[in-house]
Amino acid sequence: MKVGIIGYGAMGAAFRSVLEDEGGKVTAVLGRASSLARTRAELPTSVLVTDDVAAFCAAVDVAVECAGHEGLRLHGPRVLAAGIDLVVASVGALADAPTEAALRAAAETGGRLVIPAGALAGLDALSAARAAGLEEVRYTSRKAPRAWRGTKAETMIDLDAVTQATVFFEGSAREAALAFPQNANVVAAAALAGAGFEATRVALMADPQTSANRHQLEARGAFGELSLQVLARTLEANPKTSLLAPLSLVRAVLNLGRKVIV
């Protein structure tokens, strides 16, 4: 399987490293023109590094998006339309209805759109439980103040002055995913798996006592109750992003080529 990466930042690089440890092969990277030289320098010459979507599509069987909401919106539909399966990290982009519609329409006749759990756990149970009816789904994210820098959180809470775990946002999964494109992709995946973007409730917290990303998921329905917590190590290159996220992308890609899928 020839694997392509769209967006080679912290997640893309971690994904490639783990995929290759697991025996997979990255054959192409699609980046922005402004960062091609930097990306080229980080990769062996056998990997195509390009900003040309057609050339990228010709070089891969499967694509993994690690490029942020705008990157998924720009490239996702074209990659799917070329018949290439697309595993996405920036799931929160689907909280924008036209983007969700464009991706679903392209997947209808093209490659499959794969939405992995990313840094969260429990999406299998949530998705299964939905068939019997979900009454409540709540997600809470707790990250160090530095993980919220450069985001809308800076206008909601004084990240330099926070001394204890503090909630600075409460709302729906749609509101969270659109307002925090670098930090609330997991709740978009939970919403798509379970109760939907409106009914899935979200709280976001800054916690100066933690260096990990803490994800909590609670659900209640006809199936019973679910309560879980992921205390995730973050990537050195980006404290917003949990290591579990690129690991989840690797699992999703490898499962596409397996006969026995767990």
Q: Where does this chain bind ligand NDP (CB under 6 A)?
A: 6-12, 30-32, 34-35, 66-71, 74, 89-91, 118-119, 181-182, 185-186, 238, 241, 245
Q: Which residues contact 163 (CB under 8 A, 6 or more apart)?
A: 208
CB-based contact 64:253 (threshold 8 Å): yes
Determine which one of 16, 75, 143, 215 is catalytic: 215
CB-based contact 239:182 (threshold 8 Å): no
Residue in this structure with the two tokens 């103040």, named with its chain if needed: 145
Residue 261: Cβ within 10 Å count:
9
Residue in this structure with the two tokens 């519609």, named with its chain if needed: 101
The yes or no reply on residue 249 touching ligand OAA (CB under 6 A) is no
Nearest CB to ligand OAA, comparing residues 50 and 185: 185
Give the 3-state secondary structure of residue 169.
Answer: strand
CA pair distance 33, 169, nearest whole angstrom: 35
**Residue 119 annotated as binding?**
yes
CB of 13 to ligand OAA, least distance (A): 15
Is 75 annotated in the active site? no
CB of 94 to ligand OAA, least distance (A): 13
The yes or no reply on residue 184 touching ligand OAA (CB under 6 A) is yes
User: Which of left, alpha, beta for 228 (phi over 0: left; psi -120 to 50: alpha)?
Assistant: beta
Q: In the structure encoding, which two tokens stand for residue 48, read together?
A: 């195509």
DSSP β-ladder status, 224-232 and 238-242: unpaired
Interaction partner, residue 213 (ligand NDP, ligand OAA, none; CB < 5-8 Å by kind): ligand OAA
**Residue 185 annotated as binding?**
yes
Nearest CB to ligand OAA, comparing residues 8 and 56: 8
Q: For ligand OAA, which residue of 87, 119, 176, 219 counts as binding (CB under 6 A)?
A: 119
| Residue 7 identity | G
The yes or no reply on residue 217 touching ligand OAA (CB under 6 A) is no
Interaction partner, residue 184 (ligand OAA, ligand NDP, none; CB < 5-8 Å by kind): ligand OAA
- Which residues of this chain interact with ligand OAA, rule CB under 6 A? 118-119, 182-186, 213, 232, 240-242, 245
Binding residues: 119, 185
Would you please indicate which residues are annotated as catalytic (active-site) residues? 215
